[in-house]
Structure 1
Amino acid sequence: MSVVTFRWSRFILRLGGCLFLWWVLTGGRASSWLIGLPTIALALWVMNRFPQAPFWPISVAGLLRFIPYFLLQSVRGGVDVARRAYSPTLPLDPEIIEFPLTLPAGRPQMFFLNSVSLLPGTLSADLNGTTLKVHVLDRKVDPQLGQLENRVAQLFKCPLGSEK
């Protein structure tokens, strides 16, 4: 497939996806297209204007390993925050820590950033290049960001920075 054919195919798929999404969101009302068509044109322009990150497919085996980890960490995170909220004796010692990312840019990195908040007492605060700032509720507790990064790398079958 030539580069031109690939670009047109990608454009047609995006156009179809945007049209379908707008139709679903508006319940197919004809009057909505007055705003919808310019909005879709702007969205397509933005999508094509900025460079695309490499596509990293999701590994089925990695997904099957990530789901139980995600569920367990979500429950642990919720219990930890609830315990801290209702227990005045549990001290808070918040801090912003920096974590050097080794995941490649694109989907793996964004997935990691969004998943950090599922860990007990953590929240993604800022991304500056390849350094993630994370707000932790207790600086004495290891947020296990490296373990999460490894899980995400397995999910996307991508190498970490030291493995490239």
Structure 2
Amino acid sequence: MHLQTVFAHPRAVLIRTAGFALVWLVLVGPDPASWIVGGPFVIAATLASLRLSEPRKRNLSLPSLARFIPYFLRESLRGGLDVAARVLLPRLRVQPGNQDYRINLTSSEARLVFIDSISLLPGTLSADLRGDHVTVHALDVRTEVVGDLMTLERHVAAIFGESPAPRPDQTTAHRSPARPLEQPARPEDHS
């Protein structure tokens, strides 16, 4: 990293410095004397982060992010209530299974937010990722998992300024029964 990076990206430097200073403040507390040690560490952490991950232009949409927050909270609550109801009310049937879903997002940041957010949907969690396909485990594959995934992907795409349109060359999803966990082979007892 050259000094040019620091001057070329003042906003990134400011945001990262503020972030590391906040972490220091949370860890150590408001003691002004702690900044004798904390100041150099905050500067070193900022410079190291700039060297490891050079700032780049991101097309984040703050209005879309603002719309995502209530959606995220609502779906998290809905997911928690759904799982709690299935545990507390045994008459609610489950039909576990996996859904393979083709991700249409292109940026690594958008894909990461999408994958990490899947678990907020009722009765789902991301189980595997291979290329553009994520395997989503669902407590009940009879529910509208694919529709929920498409809605989530549209929200994430809007945040990152991407088009959520599915690619025409691939199907969006297919269902499969839950695969049992593989048991490790046990060594033979030779005694």
What corresponds to 2:120 in structure 1?
A: 118
TM-score (norm 1): 0.71
What corresponds to 1:103 in structure 2?
A: 105
- Segments of structure 2 that go 5 or more residues without pairing to the other structure are 168-191
Looking at structure 2, the residues matched to 7 and 63 of structure 1 have their Cα atoms a distance apart, in angstroms, of 23
8 Å Cα contact 2:20/2:45 also seen in 1: no
**Compared with structure 1, are the counterparts of its residues 37 and 135 closer, same or farther at alpha carbon in structure 2 (3 Å cutoff)?**
farther
The residue type paired with residue 140 of structure 1 is R
User: Structure 1 residue 107: deviation in Å?
Assistant: 3.3
Of residues 13, 17, 26, the one that matches 2:28 is: 26
The residue type paired with residue 90 of structure 1 is L
8 Å Cα contact 1:59/1:154 also seen in 2: no
- Segments of structure 1 that go 5 or more residues without pairing to the other structure are none
**Compared with structure 1, are the counterparts of its residues 7 and 51 closer, same or farther at alpha carbon in structure 2 (3 Å cutoff)?**
closer
Looking at structure 2, the residues matched to 67 and 93 of structure 1 have their Cα atoms a distance apart, in angstroms, of 30
8 Å Cα contact 1:94/1:138 also seen in 2: yes
Give the number of the structure whose residues are more often helix, by fraction.
1
User: Structure 1 residue 51: deviation in Å?
Assistant: 5.9
Helix, strand or coil at the partner of 2:104: coil
8 Å Cα contact 1:101/1:132 also seen in 2: yes
- Say which is worse superposed, 83-92 or 68-77, in terms of deviation: 68-77
1:49 aligns with 2:49: no
- Say which is worse superposed, 124-133 or 46-55, in terms of deviation: 46-55
What's the C-alpha RMSD, in Å, of the aligned pairs? 3.4
Looking at structure 1, the residues matched to 52 and 109 of structure 2 have their Cα atoms a distance apart, in angstroms, of 18
What corresponds to 1:133 in structure 2?
A: 135
Matched positions, count:
161
User: Structure 1 residue 39: deviation in Å?
Assistant: 8.4
Q: Which has the larger radius of gyration?
A: 2
Looking at structure 2, the residues matched to 64 and 31 of structure 1 have their Cα atoms a distance apart, in angstroms, of 35
Of residues 158, 163, 169, the one that matches 1:159 is: 163
Looking at structure 1, the residues matched to 102 and 135 of structure 2 have their Cα atoms a distance apart, in angstroms, of 9
8 Å Cα contact 2:127/2:135 also seen in 1: yes
8 Å Cα contact 2:128/2:135 also seen in 1: yes
